[in-house]
Structure 1
Amino acid sequence: MHILIVRPGAIGDTLLTLPVIQALKACYEQPSITLVGNAAVLPLASVTGIVDHVSNYELSQWGELFSNRGITTPSLQSQLQAVDLAICWLRDSDGIVANNLRRAGVREIITAPGRPAPGQRVHIMTYLAQTIGITLSQAQMSAGLPSLFPPIAASERRLVAIHPGSGGASKCWPVHNFAAVIMALWRRGIPVLLLAGPADESRLAELQKLLPIPPDPSLLHNLINVPLLEIAQRLSACRGYLGNDAGITHLAALLGVPTLALFGPSDPMIWSPQGPAVRILHSSVFGNLPDTVIMQELESLCV
């Protein structure tokens, strides 16, 4: 059984799709699954063993899915002729994607928007599973990813990881609050792993201006602009994680790291991180989440 899954979207969108793919895989005997999606997530998806093959959605050949001329790249035509089931989580209101796949020889095709309709407050994992006719239990949603790295004893997990950024500025808790939490952790002798990606440069610079020199150099570790697989490895050794509604937050949760996720305008009913140890604080006005409250929650979760 050859299954092709096309899932465009941000890092978090793709990560939240992996447990759904894992549940789908269990429905077939030795299926071969190809995931076409966000390039940053693909190495991680491969290492988990959830998918067998990966391809970057940004490659020009996948643009032919939407072409009025159909699929003309010979290598893609050959690949699609071997596909028994294609699942495309994207908008195809005019049916052109489904028609192109059918003309290329795909036997069964499912297309559905990549997120619930406005007003449909169902978790994204549940929604995606429903579109392909499977039921995802809460246990399956919160199980996380397969173990990727050697286990580390809880007594050896020292760092608390903090990611102050997100893909959208409105989804970010104020920088000065993150600074206050970091300094509170330092006062307790707890080292911090500070995470940032290319989209976080301005927030990172602002945070660095607010932070004093740590009382001990070992209290601050930086992980800036590195591949997702390296972030996963470092996160898996942390005692806890604090972050906004962002892809890295979903990664921490899926890895089983005790995760405190801060939600502002996003609806956690739809987008909440899933994992064995997740706590969510939600306020439509981020100023209503003071750093003292966040620190209390973080302490009870992992400190």
Structure 2
Amino acid sequence: MGRILFIRGGAVGDFILTMPSLRLVRESLPGNEIEVLGYPSIASLAVAARLADRVRPLEDPRLATFFAPGAALDEEWCAYFAGFDVVVSCLYDPDGYFAGNLRVAGVKTLITCPYRPEETLPHVPAAFQFAKPLESLGLYLEDASLDLDYGVDPGPESAETGPLVALHPGSGSPKKNWSFEAWVRVLTALHREGRVARFLITSGEAEEGVIGTFLTQLETRGVPHAHLAGRSLAELGSFYRRIEGFLGHDSGLSHLAASTGAKGLLLFGPTEPGIWAPVSSRVRLVRSADRTLGGIDEGLVMGEARKLFTAS
């Protein structure tokens, strides 16, 4: 049995866009152990989805020397890296120091993947770009869509009667967010038309100081909803797998929802959906002509949402 190591930092969306590569290796080389060196709160998704066997934290300060030329490398980490038959690194390494030190540590087969995708024309989805270097192993990614089960009991919120639709009204950047007021009007209309019985509002650290305002607006409009916060990504993924669909922006949680095979509607502004959107036939995209969220027409969003969620 061989051992394969994936090294992947980055945010939630970056990691999920690498999961088609993990699935490709898992399915193509089923007899191999796969380990991920990354941020456990994010990389544990791969273990929950049975795409990897274990995760080791990337935050060890002893790894800092691997990013410096000619540095004295930690012996324990050298032995760790040398213990893998293949190492796939997706870390930011513009000068190649990390890759060079991995070879000094004894890594025989090293595959370096881009930390960020190229955004030149013609646009190629990030998931395919991240998987491209695996072709050196004879592995070719033909389908980047995901339909993963994270295997966690989502709890009573997912058992609500009637269509339950999730909305994550934030993202990693305010420039990628539609206004709370616009979302409230859309959610109100979907509920009054009988298309959505109840909404599940998710929030993270980025929305911690403002999510209360959004929830108050929903309450004022009489829109039935539950608020979900402080859950692990695997728990959230299990929620997304059981709901009617999701609404959101270009965010890590939108990628998480799409990775479960859920249908959804995503709004894009400054980022290029041809690169950054989830690869899924079940996800609809809306983007403004001026590449700002403020330029997205509410009527267009409602029209797409009506196609996604039929009235009961």
**CA deviation map 1:22-54 (0-9, x unaligned):** 112333241111112233222221111101111
Please point out which of 122, 128, 134 is paired with 1:132. 134
Shift in CA distance, 276/52, structure 1 to aligned 2, threshold 3 Å? farther
**C-alpha distance in 2 between matches for 1:225 and 1:150:** 15
Q: Which residue identity lines up with residue 145 of structure 1 in the other structure?
A: L
Match of 2:208 in 1: 201
**1:164 Cα deviation from its structure 2 partner:** 0.5
Shift in CA distance, 143/233, structure 1 to aligned 2, threshold 3 Å? closer
Q: Which residue identity lines up with residue 186 of structure 1 in the other structure?
A: H
Secondary structure at 2:93 match in 1: coil
Report 1:19-58 matches (<5 A): 19-58=20-59
Secondary structure at 2:112 match in 1: strand
**1:198 Cα deviation from its structure 2 partner:** 0.5
Secondary structure at 1:113 match in 2: coil
**C-alpha distance in 1 between matches for 2:160 and 2:282:** 17
**C-alpha distance in 2 between matches for 1:95 and 1:85:** 18
Secondary structure at 2:185 match in 1: helix
Task: State whether structure 2 residue 4 is matched by structure 1 residue 3.
Answer: yes
Please point out which of 165, 176, 188 is paired with 1:160. 165
**1:240 Cα deviation from its structure 2 partner:** 0.9
**CA deviation map 1:217-266 (0-9, x unaligned):** xx210002321112112222210100000000001111011111111000
**1:111 Cα deviation from its structure 2 partner:** 2.0
Shift in CA distance, 203/119, structure 1 to aligned 2, threshold 3 Å? farther
Report 1:55-94 matches (<5 A): 55-68=56-69, 69-74=71-76, 76-94=77-95
**1:299 Cα deviation from its structure 2 partner:** 2.2
Match of 1:297 in 2: 304
**C-alpha distance in 2 between matches for 1:215 and 1:125:** 40
TM-score by length of 1: 0.89
**C-alpha distance in 2 between matches for 1:143 and 1:84:** 27
Secondary structure at 2:284 match in 1: strand
Report how many aligned residue pairs link the two structures.
Answer: 297
| Preserved contact between residue 244 and residue 262 of structure 2 (Cα < 8 Å) | yes
Task: State whether structure 2 residue 115 is matched by structure 1 residue 108.
Answer: no
Match of 1:212 in 2: 219
| Preserved contact between residue 144 and residue 275 of structure 1 (Cα < 8 Å) | no
Shift in CA distance, 97/212, structure 1 to aligned 2, threshold 3 Å? same
**1:171 Cα deviation from its structure 2 partner:** 0.7
Shift in CA distance, 295/73, structure 1 to aligned 2, threshold 3 Å? farther
TM-score by length of 2: 0.86
Q: Which residue identity lines up with residue 229 of structure 2 in the other structure?
A: I
Match of 1:148 in 2: 151
Root-mean-square deviation over aligned CA pairs: 2.5
**1:175 Cα deviation from its structure 2 partner:** 1.5
% identical aligned pairs:
30
Q: Which runs of 5+ in 1 are unaligned?
A: none
